[in-house]
Protein backbone atom coordinates (compact mmCIF):
# COMPACT_ATOMS: atom_id res chain seq x y z
CA UNK A 1 0.00 0.00 0.00
CA UNK A 2 2.91 2.27 0.55
CA UNK A 3 3.63 1.54 -3.04
CA UNK A 4 0.22 2.76 -3.99
CA UNK A 5 0.73 5.94 -2.01
CA UNK A 6 3.98 6.61 -3.82
CA UNK A 7 2.35 5.78 -7.11
CA UNK A 8 -0.34 8.34 -6.35
CA UNK A 9 2.24 10.94 -5.42
CA UNK A 10 4.15 10.27 -8.59
CA UNK A 11 1.05 10.57 -10.72
CA UNK A 12 0.10 13.85 -9.14
CA UNK A 13 3.49 15.28 -9.90
CA UNK A 14 3.40 13.87 -13.41
CA UNK A 15 -0.12 14.99 -14.17
CA UNK A 16 0.39 18.45 -12.80
CA UNK A 17 3.71 18.63 -14.54
CA UNK A 18 2.20 17.77 -17.89
CA UNK A 19 -0.32 20.55 -17.65
CA UNK A 20 2.18 23.05 -16.33
CA UNK A 21 4.47 22.12 -19.17
CA UNK A 22 1.68 22.70 -21.64
CA UNK A 23 0.68 26.09 -20.35
CA UNK A 24 4.19 27.45 -19.92
CA UNK A 25 5.54 25.74 -22.97
CA UNK A 26 2.78 26.79 -25.33
CA UNK A 27 2.99 30.41 -24.28
CA UNK A 28 6.73 30.40 -24.50
CA UNK A 29 6.67 28.93 -27.98
CA UNK A 30 4.15 31.54 -29.05
CA UNK A 31 6.28 34.32 -27.71
CA UNK A 32 9.35 33.02 -29.44
CA UNK A 33 7.77 32.10 -32.75
CA UNK A 34 6.01 35.40 -33.11
CA UNK A 35 8.47 37.58 -31.29
CA UNK A 36 8.32 41.24 -32.00
CA UNK A 37 10.86 43.78 -30.90
CA UNK A 38 11.92 47.34 -31.52
CA UNK A 39 14.29 46.40 -34.29
CA UNK A 40 11.54 45.15 -36.59
CA UNK A 41 9.65 47.27 -39.02
CA UNK A 42 6.70 48.72 -37.20
CA UNK A 43 4.07 47.09 -39.38
CA UNK A 44 5.56 43.65 -38.84
CA UNK A 45 5.82 44.12 -35.10
CA UNK A 46 2.24 45.33 -35.02
CA UNK A 47 1.04 42.33 -36.98
CA UNK A 48 2.89 39.96 -34.75
CA UNK A 49 1.54 41.60 -31.63
CA UNK A 50 -1.97 41.24 -33.01
CA UNK A 51 -1.40 37.64 -33.98
CA UNK A 52 -0.09 36.82 -30.54
CA UNK A 53 -3.09 38.43 -28.87
CA UNK A 54 -5.43 36.54 -31.12
CA UNK A 55 -3.83 33.17 -30.62
CA UNK A 56 -3.08 33.35 -26.93
CA UNK A 57 -6.67 33.16 -25.63
CA UNK A 58 -7.03 29.88 -27.46
CA UNK A 59 -3.93 28.53 -25.76
CA UNK A 60 -5.44 29.37 -22.42
CA UNK A 61 -8.76 27.91 -23.33
CA UNK A 62 -7.66 24.83 -25.23
CA UNK A 63 -7.45 22.25 -22.42
CA UNK A 64 -10.76 23.34 -20.92
CA UNK A 65 -12.39 23.36 -24.34
CA UNK A 66 -11.18 19.88 -25.16
CA UNK A 67 -12.39 18.52 -21.82
CA UNK A 68 -15.77 20.14 -22.19
CA UNK A 69 -16.18 19.05 -25.78
CA UNK A 70 -15.36 15.43 -25.15
CA UNK A 71 -17.02 14.93 -21.80
CA UNK A 72 -20.03 17.18 -21.95
CA UNK A 73 -20.77 18.47 -25.43
CA UNK A 74 -20.34 15.16 -27.22
CA UNK A 75 -22.60 13.31 -24.77
CA UNK A 76 -25.24 16.00 -25.24
CA UNK A 77 -25.21 15.50 -28.98
CA UNK A 78 -25.20 11.75 -28.51
CA UNK A 79 -28.14 12.05 -26.15
CA UNK A 80 -30.01 14.18 -28.62
CA UNK A 81 -29.37 11.62 -31.33
CA UNK A 82 -30.57 8.79 -29.09
CA UNK A 83 -33.72 10.72 -28.29
CA UNK A 84 -34.70 10.38 -31.92
CA UNK A 85 -34.25 6.62 -31.89
CA UNK A 86 -36.18 3.73 -30.44
CA UNK A 87 -35.79 1.87 -27.18
CA UNK A 88 -32.54 0.10 -27.96
CA UNK A 89 -31.12 2.87 -30.08
CA UNK A 90 -31.48 0.95 -33.31
CA UNK A 91 -34.35 2.42 -35.31
CA UNK A 92 -35.00 6.06 -36.10
CA UNK A 93 -38.36 7.22 -34.78
CA UNK A 94 -38.08 10.98 -35.08
CA UNK A 95 -40.05 13.05 -32.57
CA UNK A 96 -42.04 10.06 -31.23
CA UNK A 97 -40.29 10.11 -27.87
CA UNK A 98 -41.11 13.76 -27.39
CA UNK A 99 -44.75 13.34 -28.30
CA UNK A 100 -44.88 10.44 -25.87
CA UNK A 101 -43.44 12.66 -23.15
CA UNK A 102 -45.99 15.39 -23.79
CA UNK A 103 -48.78 12.88 -23.31
CA UNK A 104 -47.31 11.12 -20.30
CA UNK A 105 -48.87 12.06 -16.97
CA UNK A 106 -45.79 11.12 -14.97
CA UNK A 107 -43.67 13.39 -17.13
CA UNK A 108 -45.85 16.40 -16.36
CA UNK A 109 -45.98 15.51 -12.70
CA UNK A 110 -42.18 15.43 -12.66
CA UNK A 111 -41.92 18.69 -14.59
CA UNK A 112 -44.29 20.43 -12.20
CA UNK A 113 -42.36 19.11 -9.24
CA UNK A 114 -39.13 20.43 -10.74
CA UNK A 115 -40.81 23.81 -11.10
CA UNK A 116 -41.70 23.74 -7.43
CA UNK A 117 -38.12 22.86 -6.55
CA UNK A 118 -36.80 25.66 -8.77
CA UNK A 119 -38.96 28.29 -7.17
CA UNK A 120 -38.36 27.30 -3.57
CA UNK A 121 -34.89 25.86 -3.14
CA UNK A 122 -32.56 28.42 -4.76
CA UNK A 123 -34.41 31.31 -3.16
CA UNK A 124 -34.42 29.84 0.33
CA UNK A 125 -30.85 28.58 0.12
CA UNK A 126 -29.61 31.99 -0.97
CA UNK A 127 -31.66 33.84 1.63
CA UNK A 128 -30.58 31.58 4.47
CA UNK A 129 -27.00 31.59 3.23
CA UNK A 130 -26.99 35.39 3.18
CA UNK A 131 -28.62 35.68 6.59
CA UNK A 132 -26.23 33.27 8.20
CA UNK A 133 -23.27 34.93 6.55
CA UNK A 134 -24.33 38.35 7.80
CA UNK A 135 -25.02 37.09 11.30
CA UNK A 136 -21.84 35.06 11.51
CA UNK A 137 -19.67 37.98 10.53
CA UNK A 138 -20.80 39.85 13.61
CA UNK A 139 -20.10 37.36 16.36
CA UNK A 140 -16.84 36.03 17.67
CA UNK A 141 -17.88 32.41 17.15
CA UNK A 142 -18.96 33.04 13.58
CA UNK A 143 -16.24 30.85 12.11
CA UNK A 144 -17.40 27.85 14.08
CA UNK A 145 -20.99 28.54 13.18
CA UNK A 146 -20.17 28.76 9.51
CA UNK A 147 -18.23 25.51 9.66
CA UNK A 148 -21.19 23.73 11.22
CA UNK A 149 -23.57 25.07 8.60
CA UNK A 150 -21.11 24.03 5.91
CA UNK A 151 -20.79 20.45 7.19
CA UNK A 152 -23.85 19.12 5.31
CA UNK A 153 -21.99 19.87 2.08
CA UNK A 154 -19.10 17.71 3.22
CA UNK A 155 -21.29 14.70 3.97
CA UNK A 156 -21.72 12.40 1.04
CA UNK A 157 -25.19 11.92 -0.36
CA UNK A 158 -25.25 8.45 1.10
CA UNK A 159 -24.67 9.88 4.56
CA UNK A 160 -27.27 12.59 3.99
CA UNK A 161 -29.83 10.02 2.88
CA UNK A 162 -29.33 8.00 6.05
CA UNK A 163 -29.54 11.11 8.21
CA UNK A 164 -32.82 12.24 6.71
CA UNK A 165 -34.35 8.80 6.66
CA UNK A 166 -33.95 8.86 10.38
CA UNK A 167 -35.44 12.32 10.59
CA UNK A 168 -38.55 11.40 8.60
CA UNK A 169 -38.93 7.79 9.75
CA UNK A 170 -42.40 6.58 10.59
CA UNK A 171 -43.50 3.82 12.91
CA UNK A 172 -47.06 2.82 13.78
CA UNK A 173 -48.93 4.98 16.30
CA UNK A 174 -48.47 2.43 19.07
CA UNK A 175 -44.75 1.98 18.53
CA UNK A 176 -41.92 4.18 19.74
CA UNK A 177 -40.91 6.67 17.08
CA UNK A 178 -37.37 6.56 15.77
CA UNK A 179 -37.64 9.58 13.52
CA UNK A 180 -37.05 12.92 15.18
CA UNK A 181 -39.80 14.73 13.30
CA UNK A 182 -42.43 12.22 14.39
CA UNK A 183 -41.01 12.17 17.89
CA UNK A 184 -41.52 15.94 17.98
CA UNK A 185 -45.02 15.61 16.58
CA UNK A 186 -46.04 12.93 19.08
CA UNK A 187 -44.49 14.96 21.88
CA UNK A 188 -46.86 17.73 20.89
CA UNK A 189 -49.67 15.23 21.17
CA UNK A 190 -50.46 14.55 17.53
CA UNK A 191 -50.41 11.15 15.80
CA UNK A 192 -47.24 10.34 13.88
CA UNK A 193 -47.34 10.85 10.12
CA UNK A 194 -45.85 8.77 7.30
CA UNK A 195 -44.16 11.84 5.89
CA UNK A 196 -42.78 10.37 2.71
CA UNK A 197 -46.23 9.25 1.67
CA UNK A 198 -48.11 12.52 2.10
CA UNK A 199 -48.40 14.18 -1.29
CA UNK A 200 -47.11 17.78 -1.51
CA UNK A 201 -45.73 17.59 2.01
CA UNK A 202 -43.24 14.94 0.96
CA UNK A 203 -41.89 17.06 -1.88
CA UNK A 204 -41.47 20.00 0.48
CA UNK A 205 -39.68 17.80 2.99
CA UNK A 206 -37.34 16.60 0.27
CA UNK A 207 -36.63 20.19 -0.69
CA UNK A 208 -35.66 20.82 2.92
CA UNK A 209 -32.83 18.36 2.47
CA UNK A 210 -31.36 20.17 -0.52
CA UNK A 211 -31.76 23.54 1.19
CA UNK A 212 -29.96 22.06 4.17
CA UNK A 213 -27.05 21.14 1.94
CA UNK A 214 -26.91 24.12 -0.42
CA UNK A 215 -27.20 26.83 2.21
CA UNK A 216 -23.62 26.09 3.18
CA UNK A 217 -22.53 26.68 -0.39
CA UNK A 218 -24.38 29.99 -0.60
CA UNK A 219 -23.12 31.04 2.79
CA UNK A 220 -19.47 30.50 1.93
CA UNK A 221 -19.56 32.50 -1.26
CA UNK A 222 -21.74 35.30 0.11
CA UNK A 223 -19.70 35.56 3.27
CA UNK A 224 -16.64 36.24 1.19
CA UNK A 225 -18.48 38.82 -0.86
CA UNK A 226 -19.58 40.61 2.28
CA UNK A 227 -15.99 40.91 3.38
CA UNK A 228 -15.35 42.77 0.19
CA UNK A 229 -17.61 45.65 1.02
CA UNK A 230 -15.52 48.65 2.00
CA UNK A 231 -15.69 49.37 5.68
CA UNK A 232 -15.94 53.13 5.16
CA UNK A 233 -19.22 52.89 3.33
CA UNK A 234 -20.84 51.09 6.20
CA UNK A 235 -19.27 53.33 8.80
CA UNK A 236 -20.48 56.39 7.00
CA UNK A 237 -23.99 55.04 6.91
CA UNK A 238 -23.88 54.25 10.60
CA UNK A 239 -22.72 57.72 11.41
CA UNK A 240 -25.58 59.07 9.38
CA UNK A 241 -27.90 57.20 11.69
CA UNK A 242 -28.98 54.31 9.51
CA UNK A 243 -30.13 51.20 11.35
CA UNK A 244 -28.49 47.84 10.75
CA UNK A 245 -31.50 46.63 8.83
CA UNK A 246 -31.42 49.69 6.58
CA UNK A 247 -27.71 49.22 5.98
CA UNK A 248 -28.36 45.63 5.06
CA UNK A 249 -30.93 46.45 2.44
CA UNK A 250 -29.62 49.69 1.02
CA UNK A 251 -25.89 49.13 1.06
CA UNK A 252 -24.89 45.50 1.52
CA UNK A 253 -27.27 43.91 -0.90
CA UNK A 254 -26.63 46.26 -3.79
CA UNK A 255 -22.88 45.89 -3.28
CA UNK A 256 -22.97 42.12 -3.55
CA UNK A 257 -25.89 41.89 -5.97
CA UNK A 258 -23.66 40.32 -8.59
CA UNK A 259 -22.57 37.53 -6.29
CA UNK A 260 -26.10 36.89 -5.13
CA UNK A 261 -27.04 36.36 -8.73
CA UNK A 262 -24.14 34.00 -9.30
CA UNK A 263 -25.08 31.96 -6.26
CA UNK A 264 -28.73 31.86 -7.22
CA UNK A 265 -27.87 30.78 -10.77
CA UNK A 266 -25.57 28.03 -9.64
CA UNK A 267 -28.03 26.61 -7.14
CA UNK A 268 -30.82 26.81 -9.71
CA UNK A 269 -28.85 24.66 -12.08
CA UNK A 270 -27.99 22.21 -9.32
CA UNK A 271 -31.66 22.00 -8.41
CA UNK A 272 -32.64 21.30 -12.00
CA UNK A 273 -30.49 18.21 -11.83
CA UNK A 274 -31.65 17.02 -8.42
CA UNK A 275 -31.62 13.25 -8.47
CA UNK A 276 -29.81 11.61 -5.56
CA UNK A 277 -32.15 12.89 -2.89
CA UNK A 278 -35.36 11.84 -4.59
CA UNK A 279 -33.84 8.52 -5.65
CA UNK A 280 -32.64 7.60 -2.18
CA UNK A 281 -35.67 8.77 -0.20
CA UNK A 282 -38.74 7.98 -2.27
CA UNK A 283 -37.56 6.96 -5.73
CA UNK A 284 -40.19 9.28 -7.13
CA UNK A 285 -43.10 7.54 -5.46
CA UNK A 286 -46.11 9.38 -4.07
CA UNK A 287 -45.87 12.24 -6.57
CA UNK A 288 -42.33 13.22 -5.70
CA UNK A 289 -41.00 12.35 -9.14
CA UNK A 290 -38.51 14.73 -10.72
CA UNK A 291 -37.19 14.81 -14.27
CA UNK A 292 -33.66 13.61 -13.52
CA UNK A 293 -34.98 10.59 -11.64
CA UNK A 294 -37.48 9.86 -14.39
CA UNK A 295 -34.68 9.99 -16.93
CA UNK A 296 -32.64 7.58 -14.84
CA UNK A 297 -35.61 5.19 -14.55
CA UNK A 298 -36.27 5.10 -18.24
CA UNK A 299 -32.62 4.80 -19.28
CA UNK A 300 -31.25 2.38 -16.74
CA UNK A 301 -34.17 0.49 -15.24
CA UNK A 302 -36.43 0.18 -18.24
CA UNK A 303 -33.56 0.20 -20.67
CA UNK A 304 -35.30 2.65 -22.98
CA UNK A 305 -32.61 5.04 -24.12
CA UNK A 306 -34.98 6.81 -26.49
CA UNK A 307 -37.37 8.02 -23.86
CA UNK A 308 -34.71 8.58 -21.25
CA UNK A 309 -32.76 10.76 -23.65
CA UNK A 310 -35.84 12.76 -24.60
CA UNK A 311 -36.47 13.57 -20.97
CA UNK A 312 -32.83 14.56 -20.56
CA UNK A 313 -33.02 16.96 -23.49
CA UNK A 314 -36.15 18.56 -22.06
CA UNK A 315 -34.36 18.91 -18.75
CA UNK A 316 -31.46 20.69 -20.37
CA UNK A 317 -33.70 22.98 -22.36
CA UNK A 318 -35.12 24.15 -19.07
CA UNK A 319 -31.89 25.99 -18.44
CA UNK A 320 -32.51 28.31 -21.39
CA UNK A 321 -34.16 31.07 -19.39
CA UNK A 322 -31.19 31.11 -17.04
CA UNK A 323 -28.83 31.28 -19.99
CA UNK A 324 -30.70 34.13 -21.60
CA UNK A 325 -30.65 36.10 -18.40
CA UNK A 326 -26.95 35.54 -18.01
CA UNK A 327 -26.35 36.65 -21.59
CA UNK A 328 -28.12 39.91 -20.85
CA UNK A 329 -26.01 40.45 -17.79
CA UNK A 330 -22.79 39.74 -19.64
CA UNK A 331 -23.74 42.07 -22.46
CA UNK A 332 -24.47 44.79 -19.92
CA UNK A 333 -21.18 44.13 -18.19
CA UNK A 334 -19.40 44.08 -21.54
CA UNK A 335 -20.32 47.69 -21.97
CA UNK A 336 -18.12 48.66 -19.06
CA UNK A 337 -15.42 46.20 -19.97
Partner 1 sequence: MKRLLLTGASAAAVIFGGAAFVSAQDLAFPIGEGAFSWESLEAFTAAHTDLAGQTLTIWSPWNNEGDAAQWESVWRYFEQATGIDVQSGSSPNYEEQARIDIAAGSPPNILILPQPGLLADFAAQGALTPLGPETAQWIEDNYAAGASWAALGQFAGPDGTVQQYGLPYKQEVKSLVWYSPDNFAEMGYEVPTTMEELYALQDQIVADGGTPWCIGIESGGATGWPATDWIEDLMLRNYPPEVYDQWVTNEIPFNDPRVVDVIDQFGAIVKNDQMVAGGTAAVAGTAFGDSPLGLFTVPPQCYLHRQASFIASFFPEGTVAGEDYDFFYLPPFESKDLGNPVLGSGNIVTIARDSPAARAFVEFLETPIAHEIWMAAPNSAFLSAHMGANPEVYSSQALRDQGQILLNATTFRFDGSDLMPGPIGAGAFWTGMVDFVNGASAQQVADQIQAAWDALR
Partner 2 sequence: MATIAPELPLERARSAPRRLARIRPGRIVVHLALLFFVVLWTLPTAGLLISSFREPDQLAVSGWWTALAPATIREAARLPVAEAQVEENGVYVIRGSVLEPGSNRTIETFGTTNATLGDTPAGGTATVRVGGEITLESDGAFVWTSPTPFTHTTGPRVYYAAELQPRATFENYATVLTANGVGRSFINSMTVALPATIISVMVAAFAAYALAWMRFRGRTFFVVSVVALMVVPLQLALIPVLRLYNEVGSVLGIPGKGYFGVWLAHIAFGLPLAVYLLRNYIVGLPREIMESARMDGASHFQIFTSLVLPLSIPALASIAIFQFLWIWNDLLVALVFLGAQDDHVVLTGRLIDLLGTMGEDWNLLTAGAFISIVVPLLVFFGLQRYFVRGLLAGSVK
* Contact window for partner 1 (CB under 8 A) among 141-149, 258-266, 267-275, 296-304: 296-304
Binding status of residue 231 toward partner 1 by CB under 8 A: no
Q: Cα(308)–Cα(234) distance, rounded to whole angstroms?
A: 52
* Contact window for partner 1 (CB under 8 A) among 109-117, 191-199, 208-216, 219-227: 191-199
Binding status of residue 143 toward partner 1 by CB under 8 A: no
- Contact residue for partner 1 among 52, 171, 273, 329 (CB under 8 A): 171
Residue 162 · residue 239 · CB < 8 Å: no
| Residue 97 CB, nearest approach to partner 1 (Å) | 11
Nearer to partner 1, 52 or 87 (CB): 87
Q: Cα(76)–Cα(70) distance, rounded to whole angstroms?
A: 10
Nearer to partner 2, 203 or 222 (CB): 222
151 contacts: CB under 8 Å, gap ≥ 6: 216
Q: Cα(298)–Cα(314) distance, rounded to whole angstroms?
A: 14
DSSP 8-state symbol, 192: P
| Residue 196 CB, nearest approach to partner 1 (Å) | 6
- Stated as kind and residue range, the H or E segment containing 57 is helix 42-68
Binding status of residue 300 toward partner 1 by CB under 8 A: yes
Binding status of residue 108 toward partner 1 by CB under 8 A: no
Nearer to partner 1, 182 or 214 (CB): 182
- What string of DSSP letters covers 249-316? IIIIHHHTHHHHHHHHHHHHHHHHT--HHHHHHTTTTTTT--HHHHHHIIIIIS--HHHHHHHHHHHH
Pick out residues in 247-266 that bind partner 2 (CB under 8 A): 255-259, 262, 265-266
Pick out residues in 95-114 that bind partner 2 (CB under 8 A): none
85 has which bridge partners?
92
Q: Where does this chain bind partner 1 (CB under 8 A)?
A: 1-2, 4-6, 8-9, 12, 86-88, 169-173, 175, 194, 196-197, 279-280, 283, 285-286, 297, 300-304
Amino acid sequence: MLQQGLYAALTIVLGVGVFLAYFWGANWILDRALASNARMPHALAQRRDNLRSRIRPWLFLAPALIFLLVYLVYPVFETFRLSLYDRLGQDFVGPDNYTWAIHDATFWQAALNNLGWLVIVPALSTIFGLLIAVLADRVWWGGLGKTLVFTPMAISFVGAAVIWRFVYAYRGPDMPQIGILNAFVTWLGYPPQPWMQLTYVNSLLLMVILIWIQTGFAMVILSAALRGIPGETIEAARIDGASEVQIFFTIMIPQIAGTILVVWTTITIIVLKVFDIVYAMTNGENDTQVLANLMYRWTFISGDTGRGSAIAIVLMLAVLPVMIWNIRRFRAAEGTH
